[in-house]
Amino acid sequence: MRRTSALTILLAAALAATLSIASTASARDPGKWLLTGASSVPNDYWQGLTSDPSESNLFLIGPSQGLWQTTPQLEQTAGVSREIPDDIRENVGYNHIGDPTWLPGVGGRVLLPMECFNPSADPSNTCGKGAFGIADPQTLAWRYYVQLNPAFIPKAMWAETSPNGKRIWTSSGDDLIAYDASQVTQQNAAPSGPQLDPVKRLTGAVPPTGITGAVFRKHKLLLAGESDHVYQVWAVDTKTGDRKLQLEMRICGESEGLDVISTLGGRLHWLIAPADPDCELTFGPTSALLHFRRPHARERYHVQIVDAYAPDDSGRFTVVVRVTRPGGRPVHGANVRFAGEKATGPTGKQGLAQVFTTLETPGRFSVFARKDKRYGISKLVPVGMEPAKPSDSGPMRDRG
């Protein structure tokens, strides 16, 4: 009996959407990162994400104040739908957590940037102040929070700890500001503790598309944002405030947090929430975690998926790939990856290779092939999911 192919059935229906996704990069995009996949994740994963130093756990936020833990392959291992304690929500007003960060010390901590946000109120920032909450990375239990002086910041929408663990970066208006991480302690916990003042300010360093999330990579602060369906990631030198564009796309969705971890075929990961009433979602119908890698080579090869099939409903599947040069001559000895998994061996004399993998979540993924200083990448293909559908309105959306 001939193998049934869940992927093949979806390929024809999704071809037009796949081609559209592949061509969304703007001419301004510097080509520093390649989109290798987009995992379809639950809407509980909405506002942002971070990982521990061992890269063994991911922590995700959403839609407004939940805290969830997964493996690097996105298998959920724990979750709390209401992380902020009731008395703090009711008496202080904090009800919204942004893009989180890992904070070292005391066995490790998940730092939660907080604000008071009501989209139907005017102003929507109902308390006019921000805070850093602290959660236990093992149990996800709430520990404490420290207040930030509202004279310097009206709300905390994201946070990112510097590589040396000494500063916590966030933004206020057009400026990047940093706090002394050693002051985020139980001894300084609210409500009796002091309101923290920033220790550094980079005036005008916020990129033109704003900031929805951040992560450090090689001592540069990567900042994600969006404006008018232009999605950008900038690298900022936190010593000088100088910035350079790293990545630009034109998609439909809501830009959220960033993280750096080696998983699912990427190193840089960007969370896109399924909220944008003005267009059809590029990676819907749920939240999507986009995966990017650096090419470190020149694009010279053509990569085609010639067969893809799932033998059962376990999440296991097989991909057969052909790698050729311009003109169709096979590439022998290229290394091939799909969704983070290596092929069983380099491409043979006919340019063919086979990849076996298992995914915890469905998504859209491409094959990346490289030999020496040349590479090729296939179009994204859907794995275990239907093509994107238009968005409804989403939960709490805060951009200002």
pLDDT tens digits, one per residue of 299-324: 999 999 999 888 777 778 899 999 99
Query: How would you label 205-242 residue by residue, b for 16+ Cβ within 10 Å and e otherwise?
Result: bbbebbbbbbbbbeebbbbbbbeeebbbbbbbebeeee
**Residues forming CATH 2.60.40.10 domain(s) in the chain:** 298-383
Distance CA 230, CA 251 (A): 7
The CA R_g of the chain, rounded to the nearest whole Å, is: 22
**Residues forming CATH 2.120.10.30 domain(s) in the chain:** 32-293
Q: What is the CATH number assigned to the segment(s) 32-293?
A: 2.120.10.30
Residues 253 and 281: beta-carbon distance below 8 Å? yes
The pLDDT score that the predictor gives to residue 313 is 73
85-86-91-96 Cα dihedral, nearest 10 degrees: 60
The pLDDT score that the predictor gives to residue 303 is 98
Q: What is the CATH number assigned to the segment(s) 298-383?
A: 2.60.40.10
What's the full length of the chain, in residues? 400
The pLDDT score that the predictor gives to residue 22 is 41
DSSP, collapsed to helix, strand or coil, labels residue 396 as coil
Give the percent of the chain with pLDDT over 70: 90
The pLDDT score that the predictor gives to residue 119 is 86
In this prediction, residue 400 has a pLDDT band, given cuts at 50, 70 and 90, of: low
Report pLDDT digits (tens) over 357-392.
Answer: 988 999 999 999 999 999 999 999 888 876 444 444
The pLDDT score that the predictor gives to residue 263 is 97
The pLDDT score that the predictor gives to residue 388 is 46
The pLDDT score that the predictor gives to residue 398 is 58
Distance CA 307, CA 352 (A): 11
Mean pLDDT of the chain: 90
**pTM for this predicted structure:** 0.91
Residue 371 token pair: 């030999």
